[in-house]
Amino acid sequence: MTLLMKSLRIFANQCRNCTTKSTPSIEFTASTVNIDGRKFSRDKWTNVTPNILKHLNRNLHLKPGHPLCLLRENIISFMYKSFPNRAGNPIFSIYDRLDPIVTTKKNFDSLLIPDDHPSRKPSDCYYLNKDFILRGHTSAHQEELIASGLDSFVVMGDVYRRDEIDASHFPVFHQAEGVRLFAKHQIFDDEKQSAELFEDGKRTPLKQEYHTEITSKKLQHDLKTCLTKLVHHLFGTDVETRWTETYFPFTHPSFELEVKFQDKWLELLGCGVIEQQILYNAGVPDKVGWAFGLGLERIAMRLYEIPDIRLFWSNDTGFLSQFEGATPDKKIKYKAVSQYPQCFNDVSFWLPEGGINPSDLYEIVRGVGGDIVEQVRLVDEFVHPKNKKRSQCYRIIYRHMERTLNQAEVNEVHKRIEGQLTSELGVTIR
């Protein structure tokens, strides 16, 4: 298969997971699990549940205005800006719609994860059957993308791991995976052309047996520089960071980057020099490279001060409206949403000549309603065909932090708001 055909196949694969479809069709029969028309035969490995499968098409990372989507856009903008080619175009390509149902080969074998590795245990992941799994990490796509001819890419998407559920654990979360490959001339600048990428040497804590020491050093340096810059881009240059050494089956040497938050070191990402065997298997023996993987929720929780990982799955407009319309670089500090139900009332009026300034309206609504006003949004607008007067309708969403509001008290506040809008802004309530 040509490189172009391989890339097109991956591109086509990307589009299959349509972003607009929210609930997958799921059916469990005695012998199969059927998901959106695809049939997976059941065997003794099958441990997916309808409850976990219903997260499949949520695609929070692609949902405009969702904090995970803002973070995705922020990381993409960093990668695009930091790595231009000579013509000024980004060298990294982004794959954020790849199907989360992958073969166990991709999820484990392609990454040299040994047969007895704990991450393969059915108690740790969600198998459709012996051959298919809900990906446990975005690394699952490394080998196929490398084999398709790509040198620099980022994969983002939902990953699935059986885990307890609490404020910081949820069985579905999101990761970003970055890979960058280098040919010899990209590692050694002109004066070092005599240096070698490869040797038939020994594996040491500093390098793989295939790499010369200088190759490994250069890769580690480039990797650490990129990730330190990314963390500074996200959290500001004041944030304290440290590197620790670790083990992953797919990289050597391997590292974790930790960041200090409120006096505690938090592990933010894993990374390392890609095992050369993976590149051999992918058909690119003449290149070397680095890879990293990071959890989006972990970062977004610190960035936006979101205290509970379960909130990302919330459909509550009290949560979502805090991020709506924001740009990826906007500083947002999440404010707790009440657990009590919302109540809403609409206010419709004719505008005075010359219109009104919406910020004056927000001011009045918040001034009168105080803390029980959670959201104010323009829901309708039209011009009368005859007299050309403009009408607007705002929806005011009320919610109390400590108790359930009753409609009568909301109506009373709402009436006062209407009164002030009339007297101060000159609108005519309809």
Site for ligand DAH (CB under 6 A): which residue of 55, 106, 137, 400? 137
Cα separation, 120 vs 111, whole angstroms: 12
Q: Where are the beta strands (DSSP E) in 249-299?
A: 251-261, 264-274, 288-295
DSSP calls for 137-166:
SGGGGHHHHHHTT-SEEEEEEEEE-----B
Least distance in angstroms from the C-beta of 303 to ligand DAH:
19
Residues 398 and 358: beta-carbon distance below 8 Å: no
Choose between 24 and 293: whose C-beta lies nearer to ligand DAH.
293
Least distance in angstroms from the C-beta of 106 to ligand DAH:
12
Neighbour-count burial for 408-430, b at 16+ CB within 10 Å, e otherwise = eebeebbeebbeebeeebebeee
Choose between 119 and 422: whose C-beta lies nearer to ligand DAH.
119
Structure token pair of residue 122: 């059915």
Residue whose CB is nearest to ligand DAH in the complex, by number: 293
Please give the biggest Cα pair distance in the chain. Answer: 86
Least distance in angstroms from the C-beta of 274 to ligand DAH:
7
Cα separation, 255 vs 85, whole angstroms: 27
Binding mask 176-215 for ligand DAH (x = CB under 6 A): -x--------------------------------------
Establish if 369 lies at the interface with ligand DAH (CB under 6 A).
no
Structure token pair of residue 36: 């959106």
Distance from the Cα of residue 31 to its chain's centroid:
34
Contacts with ligand DAH by CB under 6 A: the residue count is 11
What is the layout of strands, in order, in the sheet containing 93-95? Answer: 93-95, 152-160, 172-182, 288-295, 264-274, 251-261, 241-248
Nearest to 18 by CA among 133, 134, 96, 97: 97
Site for ligand DAH (CB under 6 A): which residue of 17, 46, 139, 375? 139
Site for ligand DAH (CB under 6 A): which residue of 95, 132, 248, 319? 248
Choose between 125 and 413: whose C-beta lies nearer to ligand DAH.
125
Least distance in angstroms from the C-beta of 50 to ligand DAH:
25
Choose between 111 and 197: whose C-beta lies nearer to ligand DAH.
111
Cα separation, 336 vs 305, whole angstroms: 10
Least distance in angstroms from the C-beta of 200 to ligand DAH:
24
Which residues in the 154-183 window bind ligand DAH by CB under 6 A? 177
Which residues in the 260-319 window bind ligand DAH by CB under 6 A? 270-272, 291-293
Residues 126 and 47: beta-carbon distance below 8 Å: yes
Least distance in angstroms from the C-beta of 290 to ligand DAH:
7
Least distance in angstroms from the C-beta of 272 to ligand DAH:
5
Nearest to 248 by CA among 113, 144, 375, 347: 113
Choose between 170 and 292: whose C-beta lies nearer to ligand DAH.
292
- 336 pairs with which residues across the strands? none
Choose between 117 and 335: whose C-beta lies nearer to ligand DAH.
117
Which residues in the 10-39 window bind ligand DAH by CB under 6 A? none
Cα separation, 326 vs 66, whole angstroms: 9
Structure token pair of residue 88: 């000024």
Which residues in the 87-116 window bind ligand DAH by CB under 6 A? none
Question: Looking at this protein, which amino acid is placed at residue 158?
Answer: D
Choose between 292 and 394: whose C-beta lies nearer to ligand DAH.
292
Cα separation, 56 vs 54, whole angstroms: 5
Choose between 164 and 190: whose C-beta lies nearer to ligand DAH.
164
Choose between 132 and 248: whose C-beta lies nearer to ligand DAH.
248
Choose between 53 and 257: whose C-beta lies nearer to ligand DAH.
257
**Which residue's entry shows tokens 């890769």?**
219
Q: Where do contacts with ligand DAH occur on this chain (CB under 6 A)? A: 137, 139, 177, 248, 251, 270-272, 291-293
